[in-house]
Structure 1
Amino acid sequence: MNEIDNSQGDASRDKMLSGSAWMTAGSIFSRILGAIYIIPWRQWFGDYFYRGNALYGFGYNIYSFVLIVAIAGIPSAIAKQVSHYNAMNEYGVGIRIYKRGLVLSAALGIISALVLYFGAPLLDGGNDNVVPVLHSLAWAVLIIPTMSLTRGYFQGYQEMAPSAISQFVEQLARVLYMLATAYIIMEVMHGDWITAVSQSTFAAFVGAAFGTLTLGFYYLKRRKHFRGLVANSNNQIQVSPKQLYREIIAQSVPFIILGAGITIFQLIDQYTFFPIMNNLHVFTPNQVSDLFAMFAANSNKLIMISISLASALAVTAVPLLSEALTNNHKNEIKAQNTNVLSMFMFTMIPAALGMAAIAGPLNRAFYGIEYQGLAANVLTVSSIVSILMGLFVVASAVMQGLSENKRAVKYFFIGTAVKLVVQWPCVHFLGVFGPLISTAIGLLVANFLIIRFLKNHFGYDMQQIKGTLVNVGIAALVMYVVALAMVYLGNMVMSLFTNPFSGLVSVLVAVIAAVVGGFVYVYLTLRTRTADIVLGARSNGLRAKLRIK
C-alpha cells in the first residue's frame, strides 16, 4: 500500500512540476517584463512619475476587478470541467463546453467593457484624471475574457505551454507599446502626462490582441489532435446546451469571488486610504497620493513577481485535483494537497524573504531615491505579506479543485470582514503600512480556516509538511541574512568608488545579493535533502552538478 501511495505521490508531483514549470516561466518572465519597464518609464515621466504611477495603479485596480467579473471565473471553471469530462473519456463534452463558454465570455466582455467605459465617472473616486484611463482600459476588457477562456481550455488538457507562451507574448507587446508611447508623448512631443498614462493603460488591449493570436495559432496546430480524442471518446454522456451553461455558471461564480480576492482587498485600500489619511491633516493631497503609489503600485508591482509563483501552482492544481476527485482517488488527493503546500513553501517563502533582503537597492533601481528609506521599508513589509497573499491564491484554488467552492467563498468573506474591521485603526495609527497589516490579518484568518478544513476533510502528510516548513524556514532565514549582508557590504564597497545609491549600482548590488542568497538557499535545501520532497529524483542531478554529497 505504501508503494502505491508513493507512486501516486511521485506521479502527481511530476505532473504538477511539469505544469508549474511552464506556468511559472510564463508568469515570472511576464511579471519581470511588467516591472522592468518602470525604469525608463520613470525617467521619461520625471517629476510626474509618482502621480503618474498612482493614477496608473488607481485605474488598474478598478480595471482588474471589472476584468475578473468579465472573465467571470470561466477559464478556471472550463479547465476544471474539461479535465473532469476528459478523465471520463468524454472529450466531446469538453469541446462543447468550450464553445458555449466562448459565447458566454464574448457577451460578458462586451457588457463589462460598456460598464467600464460609461461608468468611469462613477468609479473615479473623485479624481477626474481616472476617467480617460478607464476609457482606455475598457477596450482590453472586450477581448481578454475570450483569451483567458482559451487558456483555460488548454489547461483542462494539462497543456500549460500555450498559456505560458501567450502570456509572455501578451506582456511583451504591452510593454513595448507602453514604452514607445511614453517616450513619444513625454520626450518627443513634451505632452501631457495624463495622456501618456492613458496610452500606457491602453497597452493592455494591444497585449491582449497579440496574446489571443498566439493562442489561436496553438489551437489550429492542435485541432487535429483534439478531433482525434473526440472520435475515440465513449460519447455516452449527452449534455444539453442549457445544462452546459448551468455547469459553467455554477462553477464560475465562486471563481469570480476568489479570483478577485486580492483585488477586492486592494480596492478596499483604494477607497479608504485617502479619506482616512486626509482626515489626519498631516499630509498634503499630493503626499497622500505618493504614499498610495508607494504600497499600492510600486511595491505591489514587485511582489506580484513572487506571487506569480503561487498563481502558477494554483492554475496547475485545479485540473489535477478535479481529475483525482472525479476518479475518487483519495490517496491521490492527499498527495496533491501535500505537494501543493510543500511546493508553495519551497518557492514562495525564499522568494518573499529574498525580496525583503534586497528591498533597498531593488526599490532604488526601479523607483529612484525619492522616499528611498520609507519606500524600502514598505517593500520589505509588502514582501512578507505576499506570503499570505500567495497562500490564499493556492489554498482557494485547491478548494475549488475539490468542489468546495461555497465553503471557500464563505472563508474569504470572513477574512474580508476582518480586514474591514481593522482597516481604520491600522491606517490611522500605522499610516502607509496600515493597509498591508490589515490585509495580512484578514488573509491570515481566511488561510487558517481553509487549511484547517483541508486538513480535516482531505488530509495532508503532516510529517512531510512540518519537515518542509522547518527546513525551508531555516534555509530561507540563512539566505535572508546572507543576502542582507551582501547588500550592506556591496553598498560599503561601492561608496569607496561611486554613489552607492545610483540606479545602475543599485541594480548591480541587488543582482549580486540575490544570486549569492539564492545559491545559499539551493545549496542548503539540496544538502539537507529538503529539495527532494518537492523535486524528487531531479535533486540528485542538481547535487551531482554542484558536487554536494
Structure 2
Amino acid sequence: MNIISSLQPKPSIGGDPLKKSSFLFGIILLTIVNFIVRSMGFVYRIILSRLIGAEAIGLYQMVFPFLMVLIAIPTAGIPVAVSKMVAKENSLRNHTGIYKILTIALAIGGTLSLFLSIFVSLRIEWITTEVLKNPRLYYLILFCIPSISLISFSSIIRGFFYGLKDMQPAATAQIIEQLTRIIFVLGYLYYQRPSSPIMSAIIAIIGISIGEFFGLLYLILRFQIKKFKNVPRVIMGPTESMPAISKSLLFIAVPLTLSRLISTLMQTVNAVLIPQRLIVAGYSSIEAVETFGKISGMAMPLLFLPFTVTSALVINLIPNVSEQMALNNVDDVTYKSNLAIRMTLLVAIPTMVVYAIFGNHLAELIYNHEEVGRYLSIISYGTLFLCMQHTISGILHGLGKQVVTTINYMLGMSIQLYCTYILVPNPKYGINGFFIGFLLSTFIIFVLNTISLHRIIKLKVPLIQSVIKPGICALFMIMTMNYSYHFVYGFMHSNTWSTLLASTLGILSYALALLVTKTLEIRTLMNIFRG
C-alpha cells in the first residue's frame, strides 16, 4: 500500500471515498494557490525594490512588521475558531448556527480592529517617535490604518468558507488580493515615479489596503450567493445563544492569538537580542547585524518554504477534524490525521536533505551569498520537526486542544530564548548558540505535540512506507542533483544554470522515485482530481 493509496479506505473506517478525494483535492488546490501567491509576492518584492530603491524598502520594512503585530490580534485566532465551529454546525445541518457564528465573529473582529484603528490614529506620533524611533514613518503608519479592518473581515470570511470546506472562494480571493495590489503599486510607481522615498513607501503601504479591499469584495459577493442558496434551510436546526457562541469563539481564539503574539514577540526579541549578544561574544556591531540579517532575512524564508504545503494541510484539517468529531466519527479523524502526517513527511524529508547538502548552491543562486548556504545547511535539520509540528498542531486545533498547543509552543520558545541569551555571548558558541536553541525548540515542540496527539488518537505511520521510502527517494534525488550540477558546471561554468538545471532534474527524479517505489501511484492521483 502506498501513502496516498490509502485514499481508498475500507467503508467501515472512513465513509465516503468521495469525501476523502475532496479532502485531498482541497489540500492540493490550496497548495497550488499558496505557491502562486508566494511566487507572485517574491517577484513583486524584487521589482518593487528596484523601482523604489533601498531606502524606501527600508522604510516599508520598518512599518510592515508593526502592521503584522496589529492584525495578529483580530486575525490570529478568530478565523480558525470560525472555521472549526462552522464545520461542526454544518455537519449537524444547523445553518442558522452557521450564520450566527459568522455574525458574532465579524462583530468581535470588527470591534477589535476598530479599537486598534482608533488607538493607532490617536497615538501615531508616540508610535513613530517612541516605538519605531523614526518620525519619518508618520504617514506610512497613517495609511496602514484602513488595512487593519479590511484584513480582519477578509480573514474571518475566509474562515467561514474553510469551515464549509469550500476552498475556491478563499483561494481566488488571495489571488485577486495579490494581483490588484501588484497592479496598483507597480502601475502607479511606473507612471508617476515619486521622487521621495517616503512617498514611494506610502504607495506600497496603500497597495496593501487596495488589494485587501478587492479580495474582501469578492468574498462578500461569493458569501451573498452562498447565503441565497441556503435561504430555504437557514431556519432549520436549534442554535446556541449569542453569549454561548461568543464564549466558544473566544475559548478557541484566545490561545491561538496568544500563540501568534508570542511568535511575533519572539521575532522582535530575536531582532534586538541576537545582535546584542553577538557583540558580547566579540562580533563587531556591523558583523552582528549582518549575521542576523543573513539568518532571519535570507536563510529563514527558505526554511519556511515547505509551509506552502503544510499551511494547506492545516487549513483543510481543522474544519474536517472538527466536523467528524461532531459526528463522533473518530475513525475518520484518525485516518485523515495519519494521512496528513504522511503527506507532510513526503515534503519535509526531501526539503531537509536538499537544504542540508545542496543549500550552498541554492543560497548562491538566490542571494549570491554562499555563507547563507552554510547557515541554511545548519538549520535545515529543523525542517522536518517544523513541518511536523505545524501539521500536528493543526490536528490538535481541530480536536479543540488549542490550549495544549499554546503551552507546548511557549515551552519550546523558552528553550530557544534561554540558549540565545546564555550561549550566543559565549565566544565558544557565538551564532551557533542560536542554532542550538532553534533546533532544540523545534524538536521539543514536535515531541510535545506528538505526545499530546497520541493520547487522543492512535497514530499509525508505517516506518517503511512513510519514512524509509521517502528517505531513499530523497537520497536518489540529491545524488541526481549533485551529479547533474557538476556535469553542467563542467560545460557552462555557471552556478545559476547548473543549480537551476540540477534542481529541476532533482524534483523530477524524486517524483519518479516515488512512483517507482509505489510510494505514490498515478491512478490514485488521477482519482483525487476526478473526485
TM-score, normalised relative to structure 1: 0.84
Instruction: Give how far 1:362 is off.
Output: 4.3
1:166 aligned partner = 173
Contact residue 276 and residue 288 of structure 2 kept, 8 A: no
2:273 aligned partner = 272
Hey, what's the Cα distance between the residues in 2 that align with 1:541 and 1:77? 28
Structure 2 residue 506 is matched with structure 1 residue 517: yes
For 2:179, what is the secondary structure of its paired residue? helix
CA deviations on 1:121-151 (whole Å, 9 max, x unpaired) are 4774656666665554443222101000000
2:372 aligned partner = 375
| 1:459 alignment partner AA | K
Instruction: Give how far 1:200 is off.
Output: 3.0
For 1:531, what is the secondary structure of its paired residue? coil
1:444 aligned partner = 443
Query: Number of residue pairs matched?
Result: 516
2:334 aligned partner = 334
Hey, what's the Cα distance between the residues in 1 that align with 2:191 and 2:278? 36
Instruction: Give how far 1:414 is off.
Output: 1.0
CA deviations on 1:93-131 (whole Å, 9 max, x unpaired) are 111110121111111112233445636347746566666
1:350 aligned partner = 350
Is 439-448 or 148-157 further displaced after alignment? 439-448
1:531 aligned partner = 520
CA deviations on 1:296-332 (whole Å, 9 max, x unpaired) are 2333444443212111100000001001111111211
Distance change in 2, residues 1:230/1:460 (3 Å)? same
For 1:457, what is the secondary structure of its paired residue? coil
Instruction: Give how far 1:249 is off.
Output: 1.2
Instruction: Give how far 1:253 is off.
Output: 1.0
| 1:256 alignment partner AA | T
CA deviations on 1:424-453 (whole Å, 9 max, x unpaired) are 245435555654542332121111011122
After superposition, residues 474-493 of structure 1 pair within 5 angstroms as 474-493=472-491
Contact residue 255 and residue 402 of structure 2 kept, 8 A: yes
2:404 aligned partner = 407
2:284 aligned partner = 283
For 2:449, what is the secondary structure of its paired residue? helix
Structure 2 residue 240 is matched with structure 1 residue 252: no
Contact residue 39 and residue 366 of structure 1 kept, 8 A: no
CA deviations on 1:363-422 (whole Å, 9 max, x unpaired) are 45544x3xx111233344455434433323222111110011222221111112111111
Hey, what's the Cα distance between the residues in 2 that align with 1:253 and 1:536? 43
2:391 aligned partner = 394
Distance change in 2, residues 1:379/1:221 (3 Å)? farther
CA deviations on 1:10-37 (whole Å, 9 max, x unpaired) are 5664232121122112211111112122
Contact residue 9 and residue 336 of structure 1 kept, 8 A: no
Distance change in 2, residues 1:138/1:466 (3 Å)? farther
2:4 aligned partner = none
Hey, what's the Cα distance between the residues in 2 that align with 1:399 and 1:191? 49
For 1:282, what is the secondary structure of its paired residue? coil
Contact residue 174 and residue 206 of structure 1 kept, 8 A: yes
For 2:305, what is the secondary structure of its paired residue? helix
| 1:230 alignment partner AA | V
Instruction: Give how far 1:87 is off.
Output: 0.9
1:223 aligned partner = 227
1:419 aligned partner = 416
For 1:339, what is the secondary structure of its paired residue? helix
Contact residue 169 and residue 222 of structure 2 kept, 8 A: yes
Is 517-526 or 484-493 further displaced after alignment? 484-493
2:457 aligned partner = 458
Hey, what's the Cα distance between the residues in 2 that align with 1:302 and 1:173? 26
Distance change in 2, residues 1:122/1:314 (3 Å)? farther
Instruction: Give how far 1:239 is off.
Output: 2.0
Structure 2 residue 92 is matched with structure 1 residue 92: no
Instruction: Give how far 1:351 is off.
Output: 4.0
Contact residue 178 and residue 200 of structure 1 kept, 8 A: yes
Unaligned runs of 5+ in 2: 1-8
Q: 1:494 aligns with which of 492, 495, 516?
A: 492
Instruction: Give how far 1:256 is off.
Output: 1.4
2:86 aligned partner = 82
Hey, what's the Cα distance between the residues in 2 that align with 1:124 and 1:364? 36
Hey, what's the Cα distance between the residues in 1 that align with 2:32 and 2:335? 24
After superposition, residues 97-176 of structure 1 pair within 5 angstroms as 97-116=101-120, 118=123, 120-121=127-128, 124=131, 126=133, 134-176=141-183
Q: 2:40 aligns with which of 33, 36, 53?
A: 33
What's the RMSD between the two structures over aligned residues?
A: 3.2
Instruction: Give how far 1:518 is off.
Output: 0.8
Hey, what's the Cα distance between the residues in 2 that align with 1:71 and 1:425? 34
Q: 2:212 aligns with which of 208, 215, 236?
A: 208
Hey, what's the Cα distance between the residues in 2 that align with 1:5 and 1:171? 43
Distance change in 2, residues 1:540/1:240 (3 Å)? closer
Distance change in 2, residues 1:170/1:10 (3 Å)? same
| 2:253 alignment partner AA | S
Contact residue 75 and residue 152 of structure 1 kept, 8 A: yes
CA deviations on 1:156-207 (whole Å, 9 max, x unpaired) are 110011111111221223334454566678xx45543x55445434432222
Distance change in 2, residues 1:271/1:137 (3 Å)? farther
Q: Percent of counterpart pairs with the same letter?
A: 18
For 2:328, what is the secondary structure of its paired residue? coil
After superposition, residues 314-333 of structure 1 pair within 5 angstroms as 314-333=314-333
Contact residue 317 and residue 398 of structure 1 kept, 8 A: yes
Contact residue 14 and residue 335 of structure 2 kept, 8 A: no
Distance change in 2, residues 1:36/1:138 (3 Å)? same
Hey, what's the Cα distance between the residues in 1 that align with 2:406 and 2:130? 25
For 2:234, what is the secondary structure of its paired residue? helix
TM-score, normalised relative to structure 2: 0.86
Is 245-254 or 515-524 further displaced after alignment? 245-254
Hey, what's the Cα distance between the residues in 2 that align with 1:53 and 1:365? 22
CA deviations on 1:243-267 (whole Å, 9 max, x unpaired) are 2222211121122134456544423
Is 265-274 or 432-441 further displaced after alignment? 432-441
For 1:65, what is the secondary structure of its paired residue? helix
